[in-house]
Amino acid sequence: MIDLLKELDNVLDHIKSFDKILIFSDFDGTLVSIKRNPENVRLSKKGISILNKILKNKKIITGIVSGRKISELQSFLGNDISENVNLFGCHGSEIRFKGSVTKIAREAEKAKENIIPIINFIMDKYNKIRGVVFEQKENSFAVNYRNIRDSDIEKINEMKIDFLKMTNRYSARLLNLKKVLEVVPDDVDKSLAIKATMNEYGKILKSCNHLKLCIGDDITDENLFIENNEGINVKIAPDKTSSTRAGFFLNNISEYYVFLKKISAIT
């Protein structure tokens, strides 16, 4: 990966050559810091200011793509931002373009029944582990174990094995995230956000040259990078040794804000 800030002027010159810029940004670990309690995340005043500038730029189409539910994203972002940005929740299975209502991706609607037996099995077997938070979303199921006792880590390892056994039986896959295990249908990943956006804005994009920018920090964002094989992919990556399809890296959220602020001023 290339240090984006060291090549910033060249990258910005390249971006400026396009009529439209499509941004697909992860939320946790990208726009906001990851917290021990997921409900404690906050978008900083600086982040709010920069996002508002991005959203006012007529050249930019902006989407936030997250494992969280869209209702959660709306709460964290506030009305001014959430009403003017495209939102993709539950790893792309929930879709809400600005000015419209939330809908479920066809792929997710078709496959969501497959994860119900997995949810029932895991919750029945592991509901007594202190500190574990189960979250049943519209089309996925997450287990947050950031607050468990050290003595219970073996139970989490056992849970991972059970998850893998169950996903082999049903059309689902396990996402081993940062202190979170999440099961999603096989046909659901963040690339759905790009596909839905290209369909939604198809008429506009056909008449102009456009560039996609994808930014994220974990394994779920790799599907964005793969789908965006001709655009610019940026990993928020303190660990430069991790395998990724991103061509550029930024060290932290503060550096990402620097990049976004530069993007917001593009004309």
- 79 and 24 in a single domain? The answer is yes
What pLDDT digit, counting tens, does each position of 119-150 carry?
999 999 999 999 999 998 777 899 999 999 99
Structure token pair of residue 16: 């400026």
Residue 44 has pLDDT above 90, yes or no: yes
What pLDDT is attached to residue 240? 67
Mean pLDDT of the chain: 92
More confident residue, 108 or 79: 79
What are the backbone dihedrals phi and psi of residue 44, each rounded to the nearest 5 degrees, phi first?
A: -65, 160
Query: Is pLDDT above 80 for 242?
Result: no
Question: 204 and 99 in one domain?
Answer: yes
> What is the maximal distance between C-alpha atoms in the chain?
59
pTM of the model: 0.83
| pLDDT for the residue 165 | 93
Same domain, 125 and 68: no
Domain boundary pick from 154, 185, 216: 185
**Same domain, yes or no: 207 and 115:** no
Q: Are residues 24 and 97 in the same domain?
A: yes
* 94 and 114 co-located in one domain: no
Clarify whether residues 96 and 114 are in a common domain: no
Q: Is pLDDT of 96 > 80?
A: yes
* Domains in the chain, number: 2
Alpha carbon distances (Å) from 86 to 72, 169, 195, 225, 240:
14, 34, 13, 18, 30
Q: How confident is the model at residue 111 (pLDDT cuts 50, 70, 90)?
A: low
> Which amino acid is present at 109?
E
pLDDT digits (tens, 9 = 90+) for 142-181: 999 999 999 999 999 999 999 999 998 888 889 888 899 9
Say if residue 218 is in the same domain as residue 254.
yes
Report pLDDT for 223: 93
Q: Rounded to an integer, what distance in angstroms lies between the CA atom of residue 244 and that of residue 158?
A: 28
Last residue of a domain, one of 128, 154, 185: 185
Same domain, residue pair 172 and 193: no
Expressed as residue numbers, the domain containing 44 is: 2-105+188-264
- 8 plus 72 within the same structural domain: yes
> What pLDDT, on a 0 to 100 scale, did the predictor assign at position 116?
87
Gap between the Cα atoms of 264 and 267, Å rounded: 9
For residues 245 and 223, membership in a common domain is answered with yes
What does the DSSP assignment read for 144-173?
A: E-TT--GGGHHHHHHHHHHHHHHHHHTTEE
pLDDT above 70 (res 241):
no
Q: In this predicted model, what pLDDT tens digit does every residue of 219-233 receive, in sequence order? A: 889 999 999 999 999
Over residues 97-106, the mean pLDDT reads 89
The answer to whether 69 and 96 have CB atoms below 8 angstroms apart is no
pLDDT beyond 70 at 246: yes
Q: What is the pLDDT of residue 110?
A: 65
Same domain, 248 and 234: yes
Last residue of a domain, one of 185, 203, 238: 185
Report how far residue 115's alpha carbon sits from residue 41's, in angstroms, rounded to the nearest whole number: 28
| Section 99-124 average pLDDT | 84
Return the CATH number at 180.
3.30.70
Strand, helix or coil at 26? coil
Structure tokens at 19: 């009529």
Work out the pLDDT band at 249, boundaries 50, 70, 90.
very high
Question: Which domain CATH number covers 260?
Answer: 3.40.50.1000
What is the mean pLDDT of the segment spanning 109-126?
85
